[in-house]
Structure 1
Amino acid sequence: MVDQQQPTPGQRVERLRRGAGLSREQLAGLAGLGATTIKFIENGRRSLTLNTAQKIAPHLGVHDLGDLFGPAVTLSLDGRPSHPAVDDVRKALTAWHITIAGEPESPDYLRGAVDSAWQTWHTSRHQRTEAGVILPGLLDATQRAARLHTGQDRRTSLTLLAQAYHLAQAYLAWHGDRELCWLTVDRGMTAALDADDPLAIAQASWYAAHLLRAVGRGDEALARLGEARALIEPQVADDGPEWAEMLADLHLCAALTRARSGDQGAWSDWDAARRLVERALPDGYVGLRTRVSRPLVDVYAVMCAVDLGDPDEARRRAHALDPQSIPSTERRGRHLVELARAADLEGAREATLHLLTRAEATSPETVRYSPAAQDMAGRLAREAPASIRGEAADLARRIAVPEP
């Protein structure tokens, strides 16, 4: 049994911060985090993750992470749920065809296959399981086409190969090896650059930025996004809506990146995306792969407010957004997880559980593999009032939250 006298990780962070003579704002600035993040870790509203601990440890004079987590906490490298198809996707990513022969699939066929795979990702309740079935064959077919075609057909095949790598990254993001995620980013960018396709390069930059942000390299992510915007912005006025769609998505990614670091400048990027969608995209427009649309812009507003530590603003932004209007089952599930995070920030445990349960009903695999959902469900199972603790424990079991 855990010794109730042991300080929590948040209490340890606060004690070490004060001992180092740092304010929350100073520690956040040194570590590249938001001051609200430090506040919520210290008061127990947010768990101390290994990634965050690694960022703050040097500034607290900590050389052993046990000083932050304490002897009662076990750090497992295998605690994150993994999807059963990861091995098959890994084999497809690391199967190098030294010799290759036969007739490649046509670019038109491959475009249909890639578009169908993305449609499945956005409409299936079990998108990760279905993507795990699709990806090995899709990667093989697009790799072969990029090798065997010549001229414009090869360029088109390379663009579609980049899209296949992007889908692999989306699949692997929450339950794959970090090295595999980097592999998909590098391969996707290489294919896009070889295709010499500005839209493909911009989208590859978008995916690279998400991974850079996830590993604490937010400044690099913003730099890559800025380069991508400069590449396509001159063509937005004269070319089709997919250019405006991509530019809006780059602004949304920058907004979220800034919000994750506590930068209120996130709202400037978000507003640029909003104005672009309203001005340059037809009513009812939904990006096939990105799902950029008016509802998605509102989804990002909620995400930014949550990451900036402002649950009141998140609730205000979500008030008029009907989750059923979000044109992606996967994004709808993530939106409900974000609303649960907002409730969690306010300590509203019943609301947090209710929203997580709704998210699971919408997209079970989104909740099962979401680190934020796992964290909230685990804390509810341990700490929720007795009136809902049994229900919280059932949810934690259903989504395979690791035992403490």
Structure 2
Amino acid sequence: MTDRTEPTPGKRVERLRRAAGLSRERLAGLAGLSPTTVKFIENGKRSLTLRAAQQIAPHLGVRDLGDLFGPSVTLSLDSRSTHPRVENVRRALTAWHVHVGGEPASPDYLRGAVDSAWQTWHTSRYQRSEAGAVLPGLLDTAQRAVRLHTGMERRRSLAMLAQAYHLAQAFLAWHGDRELCWLTVDRGMTAALDADDPIAIAQASWYAAHLLRSVGRGDEALVRLAEARSLIEPRVADGPVEYAEMLADLHLCAALTRARTGDQGAWSDWEIARDVVHRALPADFVGLRTRVSRPLVEVYAVMCAVDLGDPDEAQRRAHSLDPASIPSTERRGRHYVELARSADLEGAREATLHLLAKADATSPETVRYSPAARDMLSRLVTEAPASIRAEAVELAQRAGVTP
């Protein structure tokens, strides 16, 4: 009897890849994806997203994405859940202060306002809503200060404006408006360069690297990170503690970038970051904006293991890490999502749902807006055993996910 079952998108990718004579590693390299991502798309452990399909298609000789998704799949160009405050942030980013007057906010005031906004981001369960509420005013105040100050006061204000743009990028990252994210990266880097502040430039490079990696330009991201390290590393020994914090964060970003492309060299960067944190920072140190700390280094180890497709190593790394020690509600929620990804790789549906529920209890907006969490919930709704399907449906509904 002939099997008339429609092949899944993953099976279609595998079939076309084999027909093109490409290994998974070769296709991943051409498309700017990790070999693990291609593997999991093919075996159904990860959904084929529209962006991944667009990256893969040219290398498989595909001109119609229907050849990948099949006739029964409806494609949406607006698959990401958009936060209601995005429009206000967009307006603040695209406002130009042609005429300015009055007294500018002092650089010290700006630093306090920026630090308060970042503190909110890391401590609130609803960090996107609360940060989105203050971002328009923060951007406006910092932009005006830069226009009105001169000399050193202007340079200090520029460094704080760069930080405001970085927070805007963090807010926008999961909302699908790629052009707006690029705008924040460009504005943040321009402000940092104009400030001529090494820490500000390195931070801007860190944020640029995250966006470059997300669009398949991992090699370019690593170059930018190496340039930033060359700026920071000579200052670590004699400079303030922020230089060691920044150096560790740059190595952590490089580790994750390598892991996303299946490069085991990720562990080398991770080990350097761990050494810097343990050697050059106080044991209880927590970066105000970056949250660099000993627990965060271990969070990155779990992330790297998951992205390298090694759930056993991810679980081993997570075993001794108490989530309560992670000094950021937002990062703690993302850590639970990473653990859910690890369970998902092993096909452990009950554990995946349990961990996503923990993420939701920690930070509901992390689950609602994380592409990885939404993908897992979408599949759980249809694939979870009957014994937990009702719970999966309930959680998916709370997160605004429909299968």
TM-score in same-fold range (> 0.5): yes
Match of 1:331? 331
After superposition, the C-alpha distances for 1:178-210 in whole angstroms (9 at most, x for unaligned) are: 111111000000000000001000000000000
Greater displacement, 323-332 / 13-22: 13-22
Which residue of the partner structure matches residue 100 of structure 1? Answer: 100
- CA–CA separation in structure 1 for the residues paired with 2:58 and 2:282: 50
Q: How many residues are treated as equivalent by the alignment?
A: 401
1:82 aligns with 2:82: yes
CA offsets 1:109-139 (integer angstroms, 9 cap, x no match): 1111110000000000000000111001000
Describe the superposition over 1:205-236 as per-residue Cα deviations: whole angstroms up to 9, x where unpaired: 00000001111111111110010000111001
Question: Conserved in 2, the CA contact under 8 Å of 1:114 and 1:160?
Answer: yes
Shifted more, 196-205 versus 56-65: the winner is 56-65
RMSD: 1.1
Corresponding letter in the other structure for 2:139: L
Q: How does 1:142-291 map to 2 (within 5 A)?
A: 142-291=142-291
The Cα offsets for residues 251-302 of structure 1, whole Å up to 9 and x where unpaired, read as 0000000000000010000011000101000110000000000000000000
2:380 aligned partner = 380
Match of 2:398 in 1: 398
Secondary structure of the 1:182 match is helix
Query: What is the CA–CA distance in structure 1 between the aligned matches of 2:145 and 2:193, rounded to whole Å?
Result: 16
Identity %: 80
Return the alpha-carbon distance in structure 2 between the equivalents of residues 77 and 27 of structure 1. 24
Q: Spell out the pairing of 1:294-373 with structure 2 (5 A cutoff).
A: 294-373=294-373
Alpha-carbon distance in structure 2 between the residues aligned to 1:354 and 1:4: 35
| Contact 2:80 2:176 survives alignment (8 Å) | no
User: Which residue number corresponds to residue 134 of structure 1?
Assistant: 134
Using the TM superposition, give the Cα deviation of residue 176 of structure 1 relative to its aligned residue in structure 2, in angstroms.
4.9
How far did residue 74 of structure 1 move?
Answer: 1.4
CA distance in 1, matches of 2:30, 2:101: 54
Query: Gapped runs of 5+ residues in structure 1?
Result: none
For residues 130 and 37 of structure 1, the distance between their equivalents in structure 2, rounded to whole angstroms, comes to 33
Q: Aligned AA for 2:184? A: T
Rounded to whole Å, the distance in 2 between the matches of 1:39 and 1:205 is 30
Greater displacement, 173-182 / 207-216? 173-182
CA distance in 1, matches of 2:366, 2:220: 27
State the secondary structure of the residue aligned to 1:190. helix
Gaps of 5+ in 2: none
Q: Is the 8 A contact 2:172 2:181 kept in 1?
A: yes
The 2-side partners of 1:27 and 1:86 are apart by: 35
Whole-angstrom distance in 2 between the partners of 1:317 and 1:48: 28
**Is this contact kept in 1: 2:125–2:363, CA < 8 A?**
yes
Runs of 4+ residues over 3 Å off in structure 1: none
SS in 1 for 2:297: helix
Secondary structure of the corresponding residue to residue 360 of structure 1: helix
> Is the 8 Å Cα contact of residues 57 and 63 (structure 1) preserved in structure 2?
yes
Change in CA separation of 1:28 and 1:176 when aligned onto 2, cut-off 3 Å: closer
Contact residue 24 and residue 35 of structure 1 kept, 8 A: yes
Deviation track 1:141-182 (CA, whole Å, cap 9, x = no partner) reads 000001101111100000000000000000010015111111
Alignment of 1:22-61 (within 5 A): 22-61=22-61
Counterpart Cα distance in 2 of 1:30 and 1:151 = 47
- Alignment partners' CA distance in 1, 2:53 and 2:346: 23
| Equivalent pair of 1:86/1:176 in contact (CA under 8 Å) | no
> What is the distance in 1 between the residues matched to 2:260 and 2:26?
16
Q: Is the 8 A contact 1:256 1:266 kept in 2?
A: yes
The answer to whether the 8 A contact 1:192-1:204 is kept is: yes
8 Å CA contact retained: 2:337, 2:355: yes
Name the counterpart of 1:6: 6
* Distance 1:356-1:144 versus aligned 2 partners, 3 A rule: same
Paired AA for residue 330 in structure 2: E
The answer to whether the 8 A contact 1:83-1:175 is kept is: yes
State how far apart, in whole Å, the 2-side matches of 1:336 and 1:4 are: 39
Q: Distance in 2 between matches of 1:18 and 1:303?
A: 30
Equivalence for 1:91: 91
Deviations for 1:319-374, whole angstroms, at most 9, x for unmatched residues? 00000000000000000000000000000000000000000000000110000000
- Distance in 2 between the 1:159 and 1:37 partners? 37
User: Deviation at 1:17?
Assistant: 1.3
Q: Which 10-residue stretch deviates more, 18-27 or 70-79?
A: 18-27
Per the alignment, do residues 128 and 350 of structure 1 end up closer, same or farther by CA in structure 2, a change over 3 Å counting?
same
- Contact 2:31/2:216 (<8 A) preserved: no
**1:59 Cα shift?**
1.9
SS of the residue 2:286 aligns to: coil
